[in-house]
Structure 1
């Protein structure tokens, strides 16, 4: 009798194991197979949200068929406690496993409404855009300059939405004063700025920020990023440069940044200034003179006068030898790289060529011919 009971118990146990294995296998297939979603959606995960709430929301949206399997799958794969807040694209046909990865991986929002505050050299603008999950393309909802015009209707409502994301983008060549002044115009930020950061110390880049973030903290982040970039590139600089410190490299990079808007020209523009420094020639670059006049507080808005080119200031490179005492703007990574890795050349001069780029020359006579061609182009344009 006892032997029969033991045998039956063992049989039942084996059957239960087989059933359990079958259930686990079925659950795994459900967790990894293509999902029912026919069109991509944007999934909002609030701060402090739970995997249970997300699973229920996904089931309601039709992105998954079983919230329990989704939640158990997240727990089984040890990702349930890694849920990130944000807005995430859930593609059509996404499996539960793929959705869990989306909401637990980087935490970087991939959809929803975004306010991008772009700080440029000439002006700053606020761009409101929204990603269409179906097409994966952004649709622009508004574009305005906070310092020059009022926000459009509906902007306050967008700002009030908890799911709205914020980004600040710095263009290469903006000055630290411009950055601080424009950050003051961003109502979604908080706090005062005690002092304008050192010129050149802020990294032109795109920064994802939160509503209510501290202006001072954002500037500190920009400074940390620029410091790291400069340290990395200084360590990998070319040999034999007439630059004694990373700060001098930053100053030269800022001049390169202001002298050309053509990315491919940066190494060649840098080589002109490196060659001049090596030969003891004055740099003779207009952007430094302009900075000495404006102190980085906005564009000059007119051409330089001859008296200004002759006036002795610490930034007038027509008068002083070598580099000015500080950078004249915040250079980007590529300009810093160019200053530290200039293209080998014998060029000592360059002038605009009418295409947006420059004509380079190794001798003064060749440069004078390039200048004459540029003057002809200017005259022809004036007569059109």
Structure 2
């Protein structure tokens, strides 16, 4: 650190060597994380290799899970006495403020009842609507029109692009509990560099939809199966500007939706088989099954992998490659190896039951509401216990 003004003992070109991190420095956050991780390891916690924010300790009734976000910590476990001992250790080490049973965590409301756990971002949603000035606007039935065409050239540039970027950032965080806006937010986020009026109009349409569903969120029932199942789909060459494909997936634990994504592929796929093949490989590397093992849950294998592309499934099951699939050799061998190991099982299903369509394309109002009903979402908070 450069010597502060008024300090005369430092010689020219000398700097101060810090023996303790100071708040506000670039390296302070890393030093804090390093110190917290070190103390948790000393107490007996193990850091997850698949999610560095997760720490686990013990087993069976003494199992503890601790989730860290900077200096906000969420602790859960079956033994309340063990939780209190961890809190006491953290207080003696760092001096903490105990907020009791979790009601809010990083803007997410947690409501518990005998039937399960409900996650919602109602207040956060209303704050977004208030800032946009549309609390009195009419609601819409779906987040994005099916026939909407957006590009980087149509319409006038916004005079205040920062407003567009700010709303997109907040919507990305809102999608933590609102999977049904994931596709729309992903598509609108493609234009944050030079947003135009049609892009802003699409955001207002999305916000009007959110106005009609402020209390909808994810519900995790108390009694649930521990069977994982995944739905994968890809919309081949759907981006009109780059001709890159859009891929999406959703993963369920029993009836509960635990992971989902909508993402434009980084390269251009030359066929729909290649499109699905590359994305199926990403499921093999997906963290969800491995994080569940950190929670000491025994998974039932193989994991069903539902896909509506028969050609992709046949490639995994057929050991013969030809010229049209030569470039898929590595990707397909990785996926096929997991199939042979019994880790996943590729299963064909009809396109009208492909839940991953929810994350790859705009849907008609009927299909949108049908797929949304399958996502384990509820509209009213369970009565907290």
Higher relative contact order, chain-length normalized (CA < 8 Å, sep 6+): 2
Normalised by the length of structure 1, the TM-score is: 0.25
Larger Rg: 1
The structure where strand makes up a greater share of residues is: 2
Normalised by the length of structure 2, the TM-score is: 0.25
The structure where helix makes up a greater share of residues is: 1
